[in-house]
Amino acid sequence: MESMQNILIVGAGFAGSVCARELAEVGHKVLVVDRRDHSAGNAFDLKDEHGILIHQYGPHIFHTNSERIFNYLSKYTEWYQYEHRVRGVVDGKEYPFPINRDTLNQLYSLDLDEKGAADFFEKVREPRELVKTSEDVVLNSVGRDLYEKFFLNYTKKQWGLDPSQLKAGVAARIPTRTNTNDRYFTDTFQAMPLHGYAVMFENLLNHPNIEVQLSTEFKDVLNSSREFDHIVYTGPIDAFYDFKFGHLPYRSLRFEHEHLADQEWYQSVGTVNYPNDFEFTRITEFKHLTGQQATSTSIVREYPTAEGDPYYPIPRDENEILFKKYKVLADQEERVTFVGRLAEYRYYNMDQVVGAALNAVDKILERK
């Protein structure tokens, strides 16, 4: 793309906002629309009425192995150094999660060293020749007892499916460790935007070539008199095509936010997972993530649902087949680029969306 073009971007989350900035930087005029009344997509954060910085759509912890992506976002935010830690509750007691040597020692009253932990996993694992499903992944690495204690019911709650119905990649997000490392993520870079995601997005979108229209539907812009040379679409791909091949399933969540006025802290770490108890999957206490000091605290419980805003693509073969039908159409579009978690139907983390958006911009700019 050589001369200045008018570009419409649908969605002001990571995918849309990174594309907007990169296209604006090289001289194109960009209109970003989002049906929500804020930018930042699902990473949106705000101060609640008690002044605690919370994440409206559940806990978002930035982590990446890519120095390029970390440096890219560092142009728009400073960082608060934070390493996420999670504990899983089994029979009313909290254990380090992902499963590590301390988890084994505490759960089974053992005193294993690193080699002992490796031998333990070797003894209990149910080896699988082909690791195709999330059930295969977990049984193959930690065996049935740990599978049932930490994974089976959490996964059933989160997805409404048995682990055997989900692709391996879902459970493969969680490592198994023979050491005592209790960081949730293994990535080199882990940090939170110092002033929050919403501020980072304001900086990202603050450019003379970018216009942002919130509370605005894509179809309303299409039906208006404005003309665009190119569209970057980051919403659900099935909606773009009016569900002509049927609905792609996306998993949703209901977030129950709560402020606890009379206590400084609710729990010992950022997130506590409840694989076997309650209807919710996990509780997150935001002050752990953000480093904010306050005498009261705010938490969120996540209740998985089938209905509601689309949050997670559901990685399984039949959904992939349906997605591919839409992708055939998408690949034929000369004037529309599809990028992001909903448009590509990929279980992307935030850093992966930034990477996908930077690549998408390169492709758009290569076009004549």
Dihedral angle at the C-alpha atoms of 361, 339, 191, 71, nearest 10 degrees? -10
Block residue for tokens 């120095």: 67
Please choose, from the candidates 282, 299, 255, 284, the residue with its C-alpha nearest in 3D space to the C-alpha of residue 89: 282
Binding status of residue 173 toward ligand UDP by CB under 6 A? yes
Binding status of residue 42 toward ligand FAD by CB under 6 A? yes
Report whether 360 contacts 232 (CB < 8 A): yes
- Identify the residue among 15, 174, 212, 232 touching ligand UDP (CB under 6 A): 174
- Identify the residue among 150, 250, 323, 345 touching ligand UDP (CB under 6 A): 150
Sequential DSSP letters for 80-126: EE---BEEEEETTEEEEES--HHHHHHHHT----HHHHHHHHHHH--
- Identify the residue among 158, 190, 284, 352 touching ligand UDP (CB under 6 A): 158
Residues of this chain, 65-104, that bind ligand UDP according to CB under 6 A:
88, 97
Binding status of residue 155 toward ligand UDP by CB under 6 A? yes
Binding status of residue 345 toward ligand UDP by CB under 6 A? no
DSSP secondary structure code for residue 186 in this structure: -
Binding status of residue 323 toward ligand UDP by CB under 6 A? no
Residue type, 220: D
Please choose, from the candidates 331, 342, 327, 360, the residue with its C-alpha nearest in 3D space to the C-alpha of residue 232: 360
Residues of this chain, 232-271, that bind ligand FAD according to CB under 6 A:
234-235, 253
Block residue for tokens 């998985």: 304
Binding status of residue 154 toward ligand UDP by CB under 6 A? yes
Burial, 331: exposed, middle or buried (Cβ in 10 Å; 0-12, 13-18, 19+)?
exposed
Sequential DSSP letters for 195-207: T-HHHHHHHHH--
* String of contacts with ligand FAD for each residue 107-146, x by CB under 6 A: ----------------------------------------
Stretches 15-23, 148-156, 175-183, 187-195: which one binds ligand UDP (CB under 6 A)? 148-156
- Identify the residue among 11, 88, 193, 196 touching ligand FAD (CB under 6 A): 11
Report whether 310 contacts 250 (CB < 8 A): yes
Residue 350 binds which one of ligand FAD, ligand UDP, none, with CB within 5 to 8 A depending on kind?
A: ligand FAD
Q: How far apart (Å, rounded) are the C-alpha atoms in residues 297 and 266? A: 7
Binding status of residue 193 toward ligand FAD by CB under 6 A? no
- Identify the residue among 234, 273, 297, 337 touching ligand UDP (CB under 6 A): 273
Burial, 317: exposed, middle or buried (Cβ in 10 Å; 0-12, 13-18, 19+)?
exposed
Binding status of residue 139 toward ligand UDP by CB under 6 A? no
Report whether 355 contacts 178 (CB < 8 A): no
Binding status of residue 14 toward ligand FAD by CB under 6 A? yes
Q: How far apart (Å, rounded) are the C-alpha atoms in residues 353 and 347? A: 10
Binding status of residue 201 toward ligand FAD by CB under 6 A? no
Binding residues (CB under 6 A) for ligand UDP: these are: 88, 97, 150-151, 154-155, 158, 170-171, 173-174, 273, 275
Binding residues (CB under 6 A) for ligand FAD: these are: 10-16, 33-36, 41-43, 57-61, 217-218, 234-235, 253, 311, 340-342, 348-351, 353
